[in-house]
Structure 1
Amino acid sequence: MKNITRYLGLAAKLLLFLLVLGFALKNSHSATFYSYLGYVWQAPLIVMLGLAFVLGALTGVLALLPTQIRMRRELAKKSRAVDSDTIIHTDMPVV
Structure 2
Amino acid sequence: MHIFVWLFRAFIFFSLFAFALNNQQPAAVNWFFGHAWTAPMVIIVLCAFAGGTAFGVLAMAPSWWRQRRRVRQQLATGTAQQPGTTSSSSPSETPATPPLPDVV
Give the TM-score of the pair, scaled to structure 2. Answer: 0.70
Alignment partners' CA distance in 2, 1:44 and 1:11: 29
Look up the match of 2:53: 57
Greater C-alpha radius of gyration: 1
User: What is the number of equivalent residue pairs in this alignment?
Assistant: 81
In the TM superposition, 1:1-95 aligns within 5 A as 5-82=1-78
Structure 1 runs of 4+ aligned residues shifted over 6 Å read none
| Identical-pair percentage | 26
Alignment partners' CA distance in 2, 1:52 and 1:70: 28
Unaligned stretches of 5+ residues in structure 2? 80-90, 93-104
Unaligned stretches of 5+ residues in structure 1? 90-95
What CA RMSD, in Å, does the superposition of the two structures yield over aligned residues?
1.8
Give the TM-score of the pair, scaled to structure 1. Answer: 0.76
Look up the match of 1:93: none
